[in-house]
Structure 1
């Protein structure tokens, strides 16, 4: 166990709840640390239900192509915690991470604080001590009361597509959820808004009007669409004819549009906008695995894919991506958390998958048991069974159909375990 792992384990026990949305504890610890959040490079703050990570990856690729140094904060991590904190382009080094976590632990003095809050404070501390041109800050959950929402005057606010998720924390209607996401908008700070359901957009526009925050809205101020093998982006500044995003899936067109709108608001060049769509990398979003034990196990004829989507909108995006691929037998290996709308996630997949093998997420206390996942798949119209682990599931699939397309899906936590074991 590394030095940072031992500290992270201690930090998990500082609050009885994993999630407890409030800004009070965050403001307390930041004050004890000398308010590092006031000394970080200009912030691009990103909220939304789906597409936050992909959109952030594209904005970062575009900025870096122009020579900018970019800090980035994302969650959750897949294989190692260090992935959450990127300093001027590079993942935070182990000694630096251990040192700032220790400093935050000391400043907190044993008081109740959630893991996400204290580690977000650590990220701010790291960002404040490393020179860069921008800070890309991804909301953890919601927006209004998220630990990242202590930035008074970001350079830009970005809201990616909103859908129903995390209802136990954010409310069970799009209107309520949009109210939480719109909480990142700040007075007179420009906002970029991805395609939204009407009821979500109404809430965002009302909040922006109250704050005098100018919005650039998909379908009104900018448009992004696929035409053949090109991405066409258009706004009041003109038209861009770009390659398709290298992140696979039809949904990446709207994520690319959102990223391009943000980059255009920051004055990006033509080279930067092209790099945004062609250079971005984002693991576990319809990622093809090309080497490692699982690929070896599947054999030369099979394809192994990995995706961390976990809500109904994520299921739709995965189904659309699979539906656009050349046809071959398609089998899902799926593990999900017990807090998700499992049947809602699976329903769109029933039209594109030949079977689903349910597994429990290894080492995850909130995993849904494989039997329950299989029952939900059955209700969604999928041919479903169970297996003790991904290896067994893959072995069984290729034994009957060697040239299968196998997608491991249902949770970022499962995707992280797969990347750890198959890295």
Structure 2
């Protein structure tokens, strides 16, 4: 069902011919036109990184809210509804408020050229500037240095989660170039929590931090995290924490939890146990138990994940290796901008087959047959299907007790979650 906010968002898409055009000039212009809301926010935690920034912010939010604090949150992209991108004092923005704030920004922009992400980011900052809260959590959309969220002069804290190769067409072809873009969120004198990094990326972050006088709180140097005997063990100079394992599944969530705990310690706020046990972040190895898809194949163990780059493939492969033995099949759809071979190779040893689908309504989707060919190259028995429901039906007919993972893109995950909502 179309809403008022849908209509305005559609109009906003027409304000710039490109989806992504990295520069901050248009953002600064519109921020000034609406009264510079970026200077009126509760203390900001600003996160960048290739993988894990959303999960890490979800854990920081859980920790802060577990201590009774109120948080604004801005993340992207959304999965089922745009409203997911903006939380105000802990609650998703409602339709009337979203429509009003988008309308206000559209009018203030006065028909000038601006991208969809830029104008909606300004709308989020404006909404958050008007409601009291204790903290603001901002996730970069792409990169960091020229990202529309990089307009906070003095955040309370920055966070850089693991960096890997992705979005080369915008951020550069090497880890050093990409790390330089991500490290653009560092600010003079502002502490930065740094998750595990390749040496090439870490050198760039350290050099920029040194130039800016930004203290680093780096994994492996200033804080350590590991799983020991079914518990999460975190240690820094303040002391040791012995906690339950994260409720978000996957070995990589141990390191994300470590970064979240380091952030909460740096802020001197939050509940550490709540951070790791109460986080909510859909489409990251999410078990689907209800909805039309789950109901259509009651014997199937159904999972959903939106990861889409080689590092995500490694995390998925590692997680599948820890699950109880069960024939595992993929339903996969990807965008044509992604390294599909790099994504599938780490997963291939853990699965029996892949059924490829095109992502509905996405101009940049890989054709299903192209995905299937890439899967065969990675050593996976591959087929195609017209959509996810047909793919699941075919798998369930052959293997009614199988494990099925729908994967390859957040856009595909969003289509699945919209069917549940």
TM-score range, shorter chain: over 0.9
- Map residues 16-415 of structure 1 onto 2, 5 A cutoff: 16-268=17-269, 272-299=271-298, 301-415=299-413
Report the alpha carbon displacement of residue 415 of structure 1 after superposing the two structures with TM. Answer: 0.3
Query: Out of 394, 415, 418, which is 1:417 matched to?
Result: 415
d(CA) in 1 for partners of 2:84 and 2:286? Answer: 17
d(CA) in 1 for partners of 2:67 and 2:3? Answer: 35
d(CA) in 2 for partners of 1:214 and 1:36? Answer: 27
Report the alpha carbon displacement of residue 26 of structure 1 after superposing the two structures with TM. Answer: 0.3
The DSSP-based 3-state class of the residue aligned with 2:283 is coil
Report the alpha carbon displacement of residue 216 of structure 1 after superposing the two structures with TM. Answer: 0.4
d(CA) in 1 for partners of 2:381 and 2:420? Answer: 27
Report the alpha carbon displacement of residue 365 of structure 1 after superposing the two structures with TM. Answer: 1.3
**Alpha-carbon displacement from aligned partner over 1:16-60 (angstroms, at most 9, x marks no partner):** 000000000000000111101110111000000000110000000
d(CA) in 2 for partners of 1:131 and 1:250? Answer: 36
The DSSP-based 3-state class of the residue aligned with 2:227 is strand
**Alpha-carbon displacement from aligned partner over 1:264-311 (angstroms, at most 9, x marks no partner):** 101136xx0010000001100000001111001112x21110000000
The DSSP-based 3-state class of the residue aligned with 1:137 is strand
**Alpha-carbon displacement from aligned partner over 1:193-238 (angstroms, at most 9, x marks no partner):** 0000000000000000000000000000000000121000000011
The DSSP-based 3-state class of the residue aligned with 1:376 is helix
The DSSP-based 3-state class of the residue aligned with 2:158 is strand
Report the alpha carbon displacement of residue 67 of structure 1 after superposing the two structures with TM. Answer: 1.0
d(CA) in 1 for partners of 2:392 and 2:66? Answer: 39
The DSSP-based 3-state class of the residue aligned with 1:246 is coil
**Alpha-carbon displacement from aligned partner over 1:54-97 (angstroms, at most 9, x marks no partner):** 00000000001111110000000000000000000000011110
Regions of 4+ moved over 4 Å: none
Report the alpha carbon displacement of residue 364 of structure 1 after superposing the two structures with TM. Answer: 1.2
The DSSP-based 3-state class of the residue aligned with 1:348 is coil
**Alpha-carbon displacement from aligned partner over 1:78-137 (angstroms, at most 9, x marks no partner):** 000000000000000111100010000011011110000000000010001110010000
Report the alpha carbon displacement of residue 380 of structure 1 after superposing the two structures with TM. Answer: 1.2
d(CA) in 2 for partners of 1:11 and 1:375? Answer: 37
The DSSP-based 3-state class of the residue aligned with 2:347 is helix
d(CA) in 2 for partners of 1:136 and 1:421? Answer: 28
The DSSP-based 3-state class of the residue aligned with 2:345 is helix
**Alpha-carbon displacement from aligned partner over 1:326-362 (angstroms, at most 9, x marks no partner):** 0100000000011100111001010111110000011
Unpaired segments ≥5 residues, structure 2: none
d(CA) in 2 for partners of 1:302 and 1:242? Answer: 32
Report the alpha carbon displacement of residue 317 of structure 1 after superposing the two structures with TM. Answer: 0.5
d(CA) in 2 for partners of 1:268 and 1:139? Answer: 23
d(CA) in 2 for partners of 1:250 and 1:132? Answer: 32
Unpaired segments ≥5 residues, structure 1: none
The DSSP-based 3-state class of the residue aligned with 2:302 is strand
d(CA) in 2 for partners of 1:107 and 1:240? Answer: 49
Please report the TM-score for the alignment, with normalisation by the length of structure 2. 0.99
d(CA) in 1 for partners of 2:325 and 2:114? Answer: 49
d(CA) in 1 for partners of 2:308 and 2:135? Answer: 30
